[in-house]
Copies of this chain bind each other. A is one copy, B any other.
Amino acid sequence: MKATILFSGGKDSALSSLLLEPFFDHIELVTFSFGQEDTGKVAAFAARQLGYPHRKMVFEDKVLDRALEILISTGYPNDALNYVHAIAVETLAQNCEFVADGTRRDDRAPILSHNAICSLEDRLKMHYLRPLAGLGGKTIKAMASQYIDFQEELSENYPASDFEVGLRHALIDRHGSREVERIFPKNHMHTRVIRRKRFVKEIERKEDQAC
């Protein structure tokens, strides 16, 4: 079985991959971008550190156009994040049997509704997995720290590979930095994976005990 994980290069989607690793023969990470230069670099570096194959995909131009329209008309990021995330998941679900992401218990966006998930799984005969859906922020930090080193970055910093940073950057390009200040929260942070600290040493020891 192969699991395909929507990957931003941050600790959340990395932990999702690490949680699934023992259950799948193959793990593949996929990063979507809006075609901006360098966007996928952070994720590609993180994927190499984690030891998983990595693939970059670019949204069609009209997806960015529509996402920016939603940002400007709503005046906050959530609906636009939900819009691009849903398209990314649906795109992967066309060809992949197991599609996962790093969305968390306490995330308000991006998030698919329960009805949207059931529709997706029924229509496309696939599995949509949210391995972090039952974990809080502190738990995720504690568990991710067992396997990876990561650092926090201001979401104003570029390049990065997550949707929020991509949308901020495109908004500046087309509408100026005032619109970013109006729509996005100040001092928002994201993480990026720096290093995988271990593979499965602890489990091997347990296996020895069991034998």
A47 to chain B, nearest CB (A): 13
CA distance A146 to B142 in the complex (A): 26
- Specify which chain B residues have a CB less than 8 angstroms from the CB of A139 in the assembled complex: 98, 127, 129
| A123 contacts the other chain (CB 8 A) | no
| A204 contacts the other chain (CB 8 A) | yes
Copies of this chain present: 2
- Specify which chain B residues have a CB less than 8 angstroms from the CB of A142 in the assembled complex: 1, 98, 127
Is the beta-carbon distance between A22 and B134 smaller than 8 angstroms? no
| A41 contacts the other chain (CB 8 A) | no
Interface size on A, as a range, is 35 or more
Is the beta-carbon distance between B146 and A23 smaller than 8 angstroms? yes
| A170 contacts the other chain (CB 8 A) | no
Q: Would you list which residues of chain A between 48 and 107 have a CB under 8 Å from chain B? A: 51, 98, 103, 105
Binding site for B on A (CB under 8 A): 1, 18-19, 21-23, 25, 51, 98, 103, 105, 114, 117, 121, 127-136, 138-139, 142-143, 146-147, 199-200, 202-204, 206-207, 210
